[in-house]
Amino acid sequence: MPGRIDNSVPPPADLSIIGLRGVPEIEAGDNLVQVIAAALTATRYEIKDGDVLVVAQKIVSKAEGRSVLLDEVKPSSAAETLAEEVEKDPRLVELILSESSEVLRKRPGVLVVVHRLGIVLANAGIDASNVRDAGHQERVLLLPEDPDQSCAKLRAGIRERFGVDAAVVMNDSVGRAWRLGTVGIAIGVSGLPGLVDLRKRPDLYGRPLQVSETALADEVAAAASLVMGQADEACPIALVRGVPYDRREASARELLRPANLDLFR
């Protein structure tokens, strides 16, 4: 939980990131633990206690049936008005609004919202990339209903299947207000601290750190993105070994900055 002092965490001696290949196209209802087991076998890698499995948001959303056909969406008058402002499909804007609690920024081509999960991101995380259309009907994916719970279920399934306690992180790619390009972040976490509080840990000269907090889950998510890719790499699962952390129950909500402390709002 935020505020806990984790200053006993040692620096990593070695870190390895292995992209698990051979993952098939995921359909609604697929068992992701079985998919992970098959990918581990194909990669000839064994999962161990303390490892971290990073899974792409898209395969979790697909397995959980979070796809929507745009032809089945009826936009409201509010969605149609906003769609004209931002030059987007009114059906897509309707989905964005239904998944959001607040619109923060808008201009042609850009719609930044607060997702109902509390995450600030473009288009409420709704995306059509790497999503198979249904015939001539365009399909898009929503974020999972509860990414933390999805990670917890995967972690429990992995423990039951392999007899090991491995953390699970769900990553997604987002843009940032002050830098170009997207970067992987953790939108779901189980078994890994989202935020590591390093305050009071001494620096090289013995001075206690005053404000340092590390977004550990985000760093793991971003590192895994290097092997998972964004386009046609077909590698939506990565195994990360050597991440230093105190084992504890956690949540990606630890990483959300409270609105009253957000200087960009």
Question: CA-CA distance, 107 to 115, in Å (whole number)?
Answer: 18
* CATH superfamily, domain at 16-66+144-258: CofE-like (3.30.1330.100)
pLDDT tens series, the chain, 265 aa:
444 444 455 555 688 999 998 899 999 999 999 999 999 999 999 999 999 999 999 999 999 999 999 999 999 999 999 999 999 999 999 999 999 999 999 999 999 999 999 999 999 999 877 677 666 678 999 999 999 999 999 999 999 999 999 999 999 999 888 899 999 999 999 999 998 776 566 666 666 666 567 889 999 999 999 999 765 667 999 999 999 877 788 899 999 998 888 887 7
Question: CA-CA distance, 56 to 126, in Å (whole number)?
Answer: 14
Q: What is the pLDDT of residue 209?
A: 60
Question: CA-CA distance, 174 to 148, in Å (whole number)?
Answer: 18
Local structure of 228: helix, strand or coil: helix
CA distances for 229 relative to 36, 130, 238, 248, angstroms:
17, 12, 10, 29
* CATH superfamily, domain at 67-141: CofE-like domain (3.90.1660.10)
Question: CA-CA distance, 129 to 110, in Å (whole number)?
Answer: 17
Local structure of 217: helix, strand or coil: helix
Q: What is the pLDDT of residue 90?
A: 97
User: What are the residue boundaries of the structural domains of the chain, listed by start?
Assistant: 16-66+144-258, 67-141
Asked whether the domain spanning 67-141 has the same topology as the one spanning 16-66+144-258, the reply is no
Q: What is the pLDDT of residue 247?
A: 76
Question: CA-CA distance, 130 to 231, in Å (whole number)?
Answer: 8
Q: What is the pLDDT of residue 1?
A: 42
Q: What is the pLDDT of residue 263?
A: 82
Question: CA-CA distance, 192 to 210, in Å (whole number)?
Answer: 23
Instruction: Name which of 200, 226, 224, 222 is nearest 212 in CA terms.
Output: 200
* Joined tokens for residue 57: 């948001």
Which stretches of 88-128 are assigned E, i.e. beta strand? 100-107, 110-115, 120-122
Those residues whose C-beta lies under 8 Å from the C-beta of residue 236, and which sit 6 or more positions away, are 23, 26, 55, 56, 58, 59, 228
In this prediction the pTM is 0.88
- What does the chain come to in residues? 265
Instruction: Name which of 218, 197, 194 is nearest 209 in CA terms.
Output: 197
Q: What is the pLDDT of residue 5?
A: 41
